[in-house]
A and B are shown apart, each in its own frame.
Chain A
Amino acid sequence: MDTLLDLGFLATWLAAAVRLTGPLLLAALGELFSERSGVLNVGIEGIILLGALAAYVTAIQTGSPVLGIGSAAVIGLASAAFLAWMYVITQASQVVVGLIFNVFAMGAASYAFRMALGDVPRVELAPMFEPVSIPLLRDIPVIGSALFEQSLLLYATLALAALGGYVLYRTRFGLNLRAVGEYPRAAAAAGIDVVRMRIICVLISGLGAGLAGAYFVLVQIGLFRDTIVQGRGFIALGIVILARWNPYLAIAAALGFAAMDALPLSLQLFDTGIPSQALVALPYLLTILAVSGVFGRSRNPAALMQPYSANR
């Protein structure tokens, strides 16, 4: 009986962890491209929030979650275009700009939420993506429902991670982009447009973060609150470091963080005696461990956070 209970717990925990992996992985993948090109985009926290809001409002008003995803992508790209201008063209401190953008996004999201939906906070659920379940495979014990009863978006995200790895390591674009992040001056001498490359990569990070916001709303919660992000954009930054800027490893790292994130919910049924705040704090604690060198050293892209200007 005991083992059955444990297996049951494992199955729900794993399923929840895999479900939470999606948005973290999306945001981390985009950030990974940006950092590989030498730009640390701390602003993804704010973009996730704006993307979530856009997805929620659009999905509620049109009834279509697909349009919700589309508007989150547009908002993500638009925010990233502004950020790219600040990071790459005006060369302001990347951390400072990202940080203030997050403050801005908090205000803007709460303003836009009120403007779009009125004074009273709504509890209306947005139309969501239903999980698809794959017959036979989903009946495998423990891992069946975790791996084969998820939303299509999860499978799409995993495919994106594989695509990201392919682009980064197997294409000319990826090679150029890594060169820009390691040694921009040499890359420029070899004929690569450093500024353009970095702008493209910041846009990719904005797209990833916007989609991650849509994912939170349209697959997981169905609601919008200005507290739904809660530092998960920062956790995505931690995932990138733990994954050593490698898209394939990012899948595993995102799953690890998601497992910590899913633990409090999965343990709710049990009387563990552990204060719930301690469990909720786990992913943040894990991030601290991951970025303070406990899991071994990792090397930044050499030109990370270093502005580049052609004539110097």
Chain B
Amino acid sequence: MRVRIEQRSEPLTSWWASAALIGVALILGMALAGLLFIPFGASPIEGYSILISNAFLSLRGFGFTLVAATPLMFVAFGTIVAWRCGFMFLGFEGCLLIGAMGAAMVALAAVDGAVLAHFPPLILIALALIWGAVLGAIWSGIVGELKVRLDGNEILIALMMNFLAIYLIQYLVVGPWRVDGDLPQTIRFRRDMWLPYILPGTRLHAGILIALAVGAVLIVLLNRTRAGFEMLAAGLNETAAKYGGINAAVRRRQAACLAGALAGLGGAVVVLGVHHRLLDGLSDGTGFLGIVAALLGRMSILGSAIASILYGGLSIGGDAMQRQTGLPSSIVVVVQATIVLFLLAFEFLRTHRVVVAAPKASSTSTKDV
């Protein structure tokens, strides 16, 4: 028997082929990474059932899952906007942090006796969210500008700006914004500036509603408007787009700013909804996990929203598992990465098929995978 790889005449593009590839990637990724439970004396089935029951099967747990999914959604949406416009942006970690900083700026300006103290809370919250989004847009806009104007390396610039944002936040919370006490963090925001909890018995805050609303707007923007069409066209084929009268450079700049604004909004939502203060170590990989979720959702808004809930749930379930049983939560990170690595490897099967043929037989069984 011989295994051979040959090119397909037509790439597989049907939706069921996509669904099958995602399904197989999920199963294989979870199975392979599930082996990591064994050295710690738990079977993969036990491990996953603890994970899933903590994340999805109780109301309180599911609330936490949605809380964790919220920033992932914002980052995944940002990834979709930037990448599908041909701007390979990896700076969401930084944008999240800068957005969180923006929201904190507004909240700190609203304490008793400060400039914004007399504004009604609803306006303050709106202001904090908008300011977070604006700062996020500026942060990613810098990368977009360097890319479009100077042809800089957007990948490295964005990665480095993530570190700049981390150190900027660190400076603020150990320096000028630090509250008296042991921990490097700001004071707690005013109670009426917290995003309201929306589900009794859980910590679920209104941020998820904002994320879903933003997702709906993006679906319309990308599929039903001229701006969205031109962004996607610029991403698919820049030269063709230019001949079609599209100013690809402008669209790319817009996509860069929009992506940063989305992540910045996500950061603002996290500080107003979860922590209620600015603190060090706020983002901790969310900016990358959101990209992974967008890839798992195959770069569609709906798909990546679902993927964000799944990945948020895995993270929450992993933390609960570590608290209850001592199994390391790092297994979850491996699961999350392995699934998408499988999915990427399977992309190959869209354009190629694996042919299993008996030796010397001319053209026997061909097996599509």
Contacts and interface: CB of A to CB of B under 8 A. Distances in A.
Chain B's interface size range is 35 or more
B239 interface: no
A284 B153 contact: no
Nearest to A286: B160
B341 A86 contact: yes
Residue among A96, A104, A108, A288 with max Cβ neighbours from chain B (10 Å): A288
Interface string A293-306: 10000000000000
B163 A230 contact: yes
A86 B344 contact: yes
A96 B156 contact: no
B325 to A, nearest CB: 13
Interface stretch (B105-113, B255-263, B265-273, B332-340): B332-340
Contacts of A95: 88, 90, 155
A100 B39 CA distance: 24
B341 A107 contact: no
A287 B167 CA distance: 15
A224 to B, nearest CB: 14
A275 B333 contact: no
A270 interface: no
Interface string A77-119: 0000000001001111101110111111011101100110001
A253 to B, nearest CB: 14
A281 B160 CA distance: 9
B347 A90 contact: yes
Given A97-B344, A107-B337, A287-B156, A114 B328 contact: yes
A234 B155 CA distance: 10
Contact of B171 (A100, A101, A278, A287): A278
A144 interface: no
A238 interface: yes
B299 to A, nearest CB: 11
A99 B90 contact: yes
A311 B39 contact: no
A12 to B, nearest CB: 23
Contacts of B336: 103, 107
Given A86-B344, A90-B345, A90-B347, A103 B157 contact: no
A288 B160 contact: yes
A103 B160 contact: no
Given A99-B90, A111-B331, A238-B160, A92 B345 contact: yes
A135 to B, nearest CB: 41
Contacts, number: 128
A108 B164 contact: no
Interface in A219-246: 230-231, 234-235, 237-238, 241
B161 interface: yes
A285 interface: yes
A101 B345 CA distance: 13
Interface string B4-18: 000100000000000
B170 interface: yes
A234 B291 contact: no
Contacts of B344: 86, 90, 92-93, 96-97, 100
A291 B153 contact: yes
Contacts of B171: 275, 277-278
Nearest to A108: B334
A101 B341 contact: yes
B200 interface: no
Interface string A255-291: 0000000000000000000010110110011011001
Contacts of B330: 106-108, 110-111, 114
Interface in B134-158: 146, 150-153, 155-157
A46 B337 CA distance: 12
A42 interface: yes
Most A C-beta atoms less than 10 A away, residue of B90, B164, B333:
B333
A237 B156 CA distance: 8
B331 A90 contact: no
A114 B331 CA distance: 11
A3 interface: no
Interface string B268-312: 000000000000000001001101100100000000000000000
B196 interface: no
Nearest to A89: B348
Given A238-B160, A292-B152, A106 B345 contact: no
A168 to B, nearest CB: 21
Contact of A241 (B156, B285, B347): B156
A269 B291 CA distance: 41
Nearest to B170: A277
9 contacts: A96-B344, A104-B337, A234-B159, A238-B156, A278-B171, A281-B168, A284-B161, A285-B164, A288-B161
Given A107-B333, A235-B160, 20 more contacts: A92-B345, A92-B348, A95-B90, A96-B295, A99-B291, A103-B289, A103-B337, A104-B337, A230-B163, A234-B159, A234-B160, A238-B156, A275-B175, A277-B167, A281-B163, A288-B160, A288-B164, A291-B153, A292-B150, A292-B152
Interface of B: 7, 36, 39-40, 88, 90, 146, 150-153, 155-157, 159-164, 167-168, 170-171, 174-175, 285, 288-289, 291-292, 295, 326, 328, 330-334, 336-338, 340-341, 344-345, 347-348
> Which 9 residue pairs of A and B lie closest in terms of their CB atoms, listed nearest first?
A107-B333, A292-B152, A104-B337, A110-B330, A277-B171, A90-B348, A107-B334, A92-B344, A277-B167
